[in-house]
Amino acid sequence: MKILLLCEKPSAAKRIAKALDDNGDPIEKRIGSVPYYESKNGDRLLIVVPALGHLYTVAPKIRNRNVYPVFDFEWVPRYEAERNAGNIKEWIDAISKLSREADEFILATDYDIEGATLGYTILKYACGGKEEEAKRMKFSTLTDSELKQSYKELLDHIEFPMVEAGICRHMLDAIYGINLSRAMTVAAKRWSGKYKTLSTGRVQGPTLKFLVEREIEINCFVPVPFWRIDAEVEINGETFKIEYERSVIKSLREARSIVEDCSGRNGRIVDVNVRELHQSPPAPFDLGTLQREAYSLFKYTPRRTAEIAERLYLEALISYPRTSSQKLPKSINYRAILESLGRDAKYKRLTELLLGRESLTPVEGKGYDPAHPAIYPTGNLPERELSQPERRLWDLIVRRFMVAFGEPAVKQSIKVLIDVNGHTFYLRGRRILREGWMIFYRPFLRAEDVILPPLKVGQTVKIKNVSWKQDFTKPPSRYNPSSLLKKMEDEGIGTKATRADIIDTLYTRGYVSGDRATVSELGLDIIEVLSKYCPEVISVEFTRDLERSMENIKSGSERREDVIDRAVRHLKPILLRLKESERLIGEELSEAIRKTLLNRRIIGDCPVCGSGKLIIIRSRRTGKRFIGCTNFFKHQCNVSFPLPQKGTVSSANKICSKCGFPMIRLKLKGKRPLTLCVNPKCPGKDGMAK
């Protein structure tokens, strides 16, 4: 009997084929460039074939990109709808050929909405309608033991409620994204005659709106001056900073008065408040908390973290990463995982601390995902040398797993009230009394102890260096990729699998730039246009309502057809309004595109003439790019500098400390960005490397 076992990716197929083969040695074969494996399992021959992610996508039946609105959509092979997807045809043909020889079908893609939808479309369209009869493997790791157990306990059918929710999500994303994006792109092209891809969608729009609202808040912010008091206290020959009772002094006159009252005075301790705080271990990682922690520690974007975690999962080093769960189920053999991790010398002492206990009970967070547990290490050690980003992320996941079994940390907090001529200052101390779980997470902890000498009420201390300092109120911080991800989670828009890609799209489209997401003229105008002509499509409430509806589809309380019908009825009048205002919208967007493209070329001020801007220019004669001054076109400045011809160049928003010229950011594919001075004669560098 031949059984076709469909996997999501080639690396997953190879692991599954090896795990299920009686001898652990499957035969690798190929149809063209498409690999597949034959595994002997008892009296069955398993044909283990991978997909290449989604092989099918949702596309409008009317393919003309200048036509909108369109509401008739269908599933088509990706190569029919997307550029640069020509290799997908070979994969579909190969799977179709193998399916014709199969007696049974098993779906072994990732057990989530995307994996279920991906598998369903391949079974339906490439395998000739086998979606109803296919059985299902469910697993959270690619370890041999779990894969074998999953194969023994096959589910009778694929998860159709999850498929329904997935189809609905893909349909809604296409209906909204394609129509709204076409409306803006066509309007701008018809006005300016130039093509520029513009996009928005039911999640992308509200997400960009968060950024624009923050940008407007920052730009409209008016700083208000205030004063603060800085002071130190000397105790037993040691100097400590102390805080004034009020962090904000509203007038210079009052600040001066406080300094005069306290200068040259001694202080008297009027209270010593000592508290012990028990801090429980942090919960195990779900994808969102892993992405935020990796950004905080390593500055990895959410998308990069997801990609690295996916590689670790495919190598059977961690469990499935696209999860919302913060719970470790009892079915996981905690002790066996720790024993296996202890084979790595780096973790040996730490695992021994946990294995010496009679029982192991992990802490849990609130997050729950019925499909997969929290992210945890499988206990397998790497079979190859991991790259630095992979090693960092794996180490973080391993330590967070061990942390879950740690004892609470005990911290001591001391707050000392010091009276200085009628004014109150605070002296604060802190120290760790018992590390508990912190011993496992030590490389990632930043807090430092402030150890105070013994103090008592009534004690006199010497006050020194009392001064006032002027400051100004600060606007709210811009979002970064991590805080924007958290905002999307809190607002209930997008999914654990899509949020990182949506953030990445905002950068790719040129709507935002920089680690601190600065919104471009184009991003501001996109939201201004949508707010003016169709505010409903950037409504968080509407997007959140659709997300709830898709969860209801999974639970069976709503029908996919009803949700799509409601969304289409909501969208039709919006698109008619956009059509009626196409000329005005095109004019506004075209001007925003022009400004954005110009601003992206500006590197900084020209230090030679003092009035021009240094911009990236491409020679019409040679096609090569270089940096020149805008005053060249006025015959006032002829300064120019060469540029590397490969990679992406943008302003680093920095001035070279050695020569005062602007600096650029050079990003070469597959390499870390470089920050370079544009001045080839800069004394602080050799050649182009700073």
Task: Of 463, 385, 377, give the one whose Cα is nearest residue 424.
Answer: 463
CB 281 within 8 A of CB 399: no
Q: Count of residues for the chain?
A: 690
Would you call 533 a catalytic residue per the annotation?
Answer: no
Phi, psi of 76 (to 5 degrees): -135, 160
Structure tokens at 21: 């083969």
CA nearest neighbour of 104 among 45, 40, 55, 62: 45
DSSP of 344-387: SHHHHHHHHHHHTSS-------S---SS---B-B-SPPPSSPPP
Element (H, E) at 194: none
Q: Which residue has the tokens 């719970």?
A: 327
Q: How far apart are the first and last CA of the chain?
A: 65
What tokens were used for 279?
């801090």
DSSP state of 318: B
Q: Which of 151, 320, 334, 347 is catalytic?
A: 320
The structure tokens 């059985």 sit at 135
Residue 631 region by backbone torsions, left for phi larger than 0, else alpha for psi between -120 and 50, else beta: alpha
- Report residue 57 CA to chain centroid gap: 24
- Residue 402, judged by CB atoms within 10 A of its CB (0-12, 13-18, 19+), counts as buried
Peptide bond into 69 cis (omega under 30): yes
Task: Name the DSSP class of 100.
Answer: T
What does each C-alpha distance from 567 to 67, 238, 418, 543, 573 come to in angstroms? Answer: 20, 68, 63, 10, 11
- Please tell me what DSSP assigns to residue 557: S
Residue 302, sorted as left (phi over 0), alpha (psi -120 to 50) or beta, turns out to be alpha
> Hey, what amino acid is at 389?
P
Q: Angle of helix 160-192 relative to helix 113-121, nearest 10 degrees?
A: 90
Residues 574/536, Cβ–Cβ less than 8 Å:
yes
Strands 460-472 and 225-235, by their bridges, are antiparallel
Residue for token pair 């500055």 = 299
Contact at 8 Å (CB) between 274 and 412? yes
Nearest to 607 by CA among 665, 676, 690, 677: 677
What does the H/E/C string look like for 636-655? CCCCEEECCCCCEEEEEEEE
**Host H or E run for residue 238:** strand 238-244
CA 131 to chain centre: 33
What sign does the CA torsion over 269, 270, 276, 282 have? negative
- Listed in sequence order, the DSSP H helices in 433-520 are 481-491, 499-508
Contact present, 106 and 158 (Cβ < 8 Å): no
Q: What are phi and psi of 48, to 5 degrees?
A: -95, 110
Tokens coding 422: 């009628």
- How many other CB atoms are found less than 10 A from the CB of residue 93? 15
Structure tokens at 526: 């996109």
Sheet holding 613-618, edge to edge: 602-605, 613-618, 625-629, 640-642
User: Which residues are identified as catalytic?
Assistant: 320
